[in-house]
Structure formats: structure tokens, C-alpha cells
């Protein structure tokens, strides 16, 4: 058993596996409160081809403070929504994607408290072996007016593309 765990740990390290450890409940609540602080409009000042400068993102607290709703590219044909909330001591998110699926993600423990990483654990219309779905969402909280977000997709079971947003709070 011990050899199997060592082998699995080594395989994950070599393959670059992300942490699969659950985010502790207290940390899940703290990160959810941090997500609430994003409420408002944001604009990308730099990014990748799929998240070019000028892209807009908005955050809204809803459900009596129990959810955060993120809207990527509001008002555009590519508009997508993600809903964040806590469930049974975990911080979770469902991403309503323009590709027609709804990956469900769970926040995972990270060594750096300024980072928040969600990994797909299933979802509606998500097939891990074929098609395209968002597999990972990473947030780096730089300060109260800056946050970086990277969304990574999988296609036909293999890493496909990432969209990186360097966001600043919009004061308009």
C-alpha cells in the first residue's frame, strides 16, 4: 500500500498534477468572502488571444449573499456565467459555457493563499473523453483592484487552450 502511494505521488509530481486536497472549510469560507469583494465591473488590460485587452467581466453577489455570479463577456454572443457558492464546507462553482456544457468545479487547497484554483469534477453535458469543456479556473488576487484569471480547457481528453485575463476594477 505504501509503495502504491509513493508511486502515485511520484506520478502526479512528474505529470504536474494539481493538488487534489480539499480546501478546508474555514479557507473555503474565507475565499468565498474574497470572491464577494470582486462585486462590480472589471476589464482586461492584458491577456491572451481568447481574453484580449478590453474584455469585460462582471461580478454580482446574489441569493442573499450566498452566491457570486460572474459574467464573462457580458452582452456578447460569447457571454458565459459562472456561479460560486459553498456547499458542505467546500467552495464550488458551475460554469455555464458557450460550448453548451456546465462543468462543476471544486476549489482545491493551494500553498499560496493569494491563489484560488478550481478543478472540474463533472457536470452536465461534460464528457471527459470527448468534446471541449473547461477543466480548470485559476485566480490570483493581486490587490483590491487587480486579479488575474486563467481558464483552461480540455478537448477530446487532452489539454487544449487557456484564456488568461489580467483584470483591473472598472470605475466607470
Architecture of domain 21-169: Beta Barrel (2.40)
Could you tell me if 50 and 161 are in contact, meaning their C-beta atoms sit under 8 angstroms apart?
Answer: yes
- Name the nearest CA neighbour of 165 among 60, 30, 40, 45: 45
Domain boundaries, the chain: 21-169
Q: What is the pLDDT of residues 89-125, one digit of tens each?
A: 999 999 999 999 999 999 998 888 899 999 999 999 9
pLDDT digits (tens, 9 = 90+) for 57-82: 999 999 999 999 999 999 999 999 99
Q: Using CA atoms, how far apart are residues 116 and 164, in angstroms rounded to an integer?
A: 14
Contact present, 67 and 61 (Cβ < 8 Å)? yes
Amino acid at each position: 500500500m505504501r509503495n502504491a502511494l509513493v508511486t502515485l505521488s511520484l506520478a502526479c509530481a512528474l505529470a504536474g498534477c494539481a493538488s487534489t486536497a480539499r480546501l478546508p472549510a474555514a479557507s473555503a469560507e474565507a475565499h468565498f468572502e474574497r470572491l464577494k469583494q470582486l462585486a462590480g465591473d472589471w476589464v482586461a488590460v492584458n491577456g491572451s488571444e481568447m481574453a484580449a485587452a478590453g474584455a469585460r467581466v462582471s461580478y454580482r453577489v446574489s441569493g442573499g449573499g450566498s452566491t457570486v455570479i460572474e459574467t464573462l463577456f457580458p452582452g456578447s454572443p460569447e457571454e458565459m456565467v459562472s456561479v460560486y457558492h459553498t456547499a458542505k464546507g467546500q467552495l464550488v462553482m458551475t460554469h455555464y459555457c458557450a460550448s453548451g456544457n456546465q462543468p462543476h468545479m471544486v476549489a482545491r487547497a493551494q500553498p499560496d493563499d493569494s491563489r484560488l484554483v478550481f478543478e472540474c469534477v463533472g457536470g452536465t453535458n461534460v464528457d471527459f473523453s470527448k468534446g471541449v469543456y473547461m477543466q480548470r479556473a485559476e485566480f490570483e488576487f493581486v490587490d483590491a483592484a487587480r486579479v488575474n484569471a486563467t481558464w483552461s480547457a480540455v478537448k477530446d481528453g487532452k489539454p487544449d487552450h487557456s484564456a488568461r485575463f489580467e483584470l483591473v476594477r472598472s470605475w466607470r
